[in-house]
Amino acid sequence: MGGYAAAPADLELGIQETVQALGEKRSPAGWMWKVLGAVLAAALCLGGLQLWALYWAPRPQTTAQAEERKAPTLGDPAGSTDPHHMLKQFSSNAKAAIHLVGTYDEDESAQLEWSASQGQGFTYGSFQLRQNRIVVPRGGLYFVYSQASFRVTCGGEAGAGGPPVPPSHRIWRLSDSIGSKVSLLSAVRSVCQPGGAAGDGELGWYNTIYLGAVFQLNRGDELWTETNLLPELETDEGKTFFGVFAL
């Protein structure tokens, strides 16, 4: 019985079938690699978008920063729009500050007396109150401020006793570098204007003079106030004050 001999055509056909079978077996693996590559590309794109969003998104403010940038509103129940309250808050962050409360007693003194130990008065740093004057501890920029409140009584009869004297308030400075006193701030208010409502033959006009500005002061400078119509002054809590704080 003779052996079977494979013809060249048979060998070629067998090789093609083998290659085709191997290709069919490897095709699922190639498909999986393609899927994994697509997932990886999508993940990289998503990560890049997240990084871009984090970089360009506004950074959240801390509680302290939000409080510092918060502007006082008219409806603040704490009364933060009150100049007296706001000035005390600002001066509490200063290197040196002094806040004085004004009192007047015509039986004891002929001038407006300032005190750091009454009401909301205080001293911080090296400020001194000497002979009713504020003494500047060192040279630098300072915010100087003062307020005087008046209740002026106007006569009911026109021309009786002449026109009323308008209230005025002034801050003086005495410095060795200048050699004489100079006026830092001053203001005058008109009172007893016509057209007001009369009551019991007299009119009471309430008026407030507020002064405040930044100045370059020297060590040893003295600051004090001058106010007329002292009997008409309102010295209740927070109505009349005088202070300085370093910037």
The per-residue pLDDT for range 215-240, each reduced to its tens digit, is 999 999 999 999 999 999 999 888 99
Q: What is the mean predicted confidence (pLDDT) over 26-55?
A: 66
Domain assignment of residue 69, yes or no: no
Q: Is residue 89 located within the same domain as residue 200?
A: yes
Q: Which domain holds residue 13?
A: 8-61
Q: Is residue 154 located within the same domain as residue 43?
A: no
> In the predicted model, is pLDDT for residue 88 greater than 70?
no
Q: Please give the Cα distance from 227 to 174 (Å, whole number).
A: 17
* pLDDT recorded at residue 83: 58
61 dihedral zone (left: phi>0; alpha: psi -120 to 50; beta): beta
Paired residues of 152 in beta bridges: 205
Q: Are 115 and 121 in contact (CB under 8 A)?
A: yes
Query: Which stretch of 43-52, 71-80, 90-99, 129-138 has the lowest confidence by average pLDDT?
Result: 71-80
Question: Could you give the percent of the chain with pLDDT greater than 70?
Answer: 56
Among 136, 133, 103, which Cα is nearest to 118's? 103
Q: Is residue 200 located within the same domain as residue 105?
A: yes
Question: In sequence order, which ranges of the chain are alpha helices (DSSP H)?
Answer: 8-56, 63-69, 83-92
Domain assignment of residue 181, yes or no: yes
Q: Look at 90 and 96; give whichever has higher pLDDT.
A: 96
CATH of the domain at 194: 2.60.120.40
Q: Is residue 44 located within the same domain as residue 164?
A: no
Q: Which of 17-26, 32-41, 79-88 is most confident?
A: 32-41
Q: Is residue 156 located within the same domain as residue 43?
A: no
Domain assignment of residue 67, yes or no: no
- Say what the pTM is: 0.60
Q: Is residue 56 located within the same domain as residue 89?
A: no
